[in-house]
Amino acid sequence: MSEEVVLEETRGAVKWVFINRPERRNALNEDVANGIIAAIEAAEADPDCRAILLTGSGDKAFCAGGDLKPSATGAPFTVNPADPRNFVVRMFNRMNDSTLPIVARVNGPALAGGLGLLCACDMAVASSSAKFGAPESGIGLFPAMIMPLLHRVLPLRKLFELCITGELFTAEEALQMDLINYVVSPEELDEKTEWLLGRITNKSPTAIRLGKIGFRAVRDMTLQQAFDFGQLLLPTMAQTEDCKEGFKAFQEKRKPSWTNK
């Protein structure tokens, strides 16, 4: 087994990123966070890369949360009160800023920080055997660090329920609350993941890149601000080489040849 805590593999137009700590149920630590950040930056620097796939090594977990260990005071982690900035937040910010779509392949439990990691991705395909939850309340904590992500993905009533009770829920329940896009059997997970990636990587990378900027921008705008932004963004997109090629291909009834420009 490689000692690297994050592994990268290029498969066609997709950068596959594996959290490689199966013995710790792929728990997050600073090395993992830095590895995911580095993988995103490498993917964005590759002009042939169209998407990022994030998953866990092995078949035991997607990510079981933060790698909590007792501090000298008995608390589950240490913090510098003069500089409380956390590596997990730095990773979430980098994922949010990614110009490439990030797809989660949920091959096992996504718990606590792992649930936040899932919410930081743009889309997700999950195994029917996966479990989800924010069990922090059971050890005297609350999922404060992942709360901004949970708020943007989950319905409010379900968010309260999972945060306050700390109980786990199934992949089918996760699908019903729009946490994930698809649920399939463990045997079908790779096939369904590749199917979704194929539907992403054959589209205009320029449109997706600018579209992700638009998603981030309008999320916290008023309705009028969002309309104003949209009517400025669309004409800009129409001037890109990808848009011109896409429109020409549509007229000529052929598949477009994307330029990524």
Encode pLDDT of 18-70 as tens digits. Answer: 999 999 999 999 999 999 999 999 999 999 999 999 999 998 999 999 887 65
Instruction: Spell out a b/e string for 38-68, using b for 16 or more CB atoms within 10 Å of the CB, else e.
Output: ebbeebbeeeebbbbbbbbbbeebbbbbbbb
124 closest CA partner among 185, 186, 55, 203: 55
Would you state the pLDDT for residue 84? 72
Cα four-point dihedral sign 49, 51, 57, 63: positive
pLDDT for res 1: 39
15-19, 103-107, 212-216: the lowest-pLDDT one: 212-216
- Report how far residue 19's alpha carbon sits from residue 143's, in angstroms, rounded to the nearest whole number: 21
With a cut of 60, say whether residue 2 has pLDDT above it. no
| pLDDT given at position 121 | 98
Q: pLDDT, tens digit, for every residue of 217-237?
A: 999 999 999 999 999 999 999
Q: Does the pLDDT at position 78 exceed 90?
A: no
Question: What mean pLDDT is predicted for residues 230-246?
Answer: 95
The Cα–Cα gap between 200 and 15 comes to 13
Residue with tokens 């001037």: 239
In this prediction, residues 153-178 reach a mean pLDDT of 96
pLDDT at residue 198 in the model: 98
41 is catalytic: no
Pair 33, 87: CB distance under 8 Å: yes
Q: What is the average pLDDT score of the chain? A: 93
Model confidence pTM above 0.85: yes
Rounded Cα distance between 119 and 101, Å, is 13
85-137 tens-digit pLDDT:
789 999 999 999 999 999 999 999 999 999 999 999 999 999 999 999 999 99
Exactly one of 3, 30, 136, 241 is catalytic; name it: 136
DSSP single-letter state for residue 65: -
Cα 34 to Cα 53, 54, 172, 225, 227, distances in angstroms: 16, 14, 32, 35, 37
Task: Report the alpha-carbon distance of residue 11 to residue 217 in Å, rounded.
Answer: 31
- Does residue 73 carry a pLDDT above 80? no
| Residues 101/121, Cβ–Cβ less than 8 Å | no
**Residue 22 falls in which region: left (phi positive, over 0), alpha (psi -120 to 50) or beta:** alpha
Provide the Cα torsion 19, 29, 147, 140; round to 10°: 120
pLDDT band at 3 (very low <50, low <70, confident <90, very high): confident
pLDDT at 9 over 60: yes
CB-based contact 120:102 (threshold 8 Å): yes
Longest CA–CA span in the chain (Å) reads 69
At 29 the pLDDT is 93
CA distances from 196 to 31, 41, 52, 126, 129 (A): 29, 22, 12, 12, 19
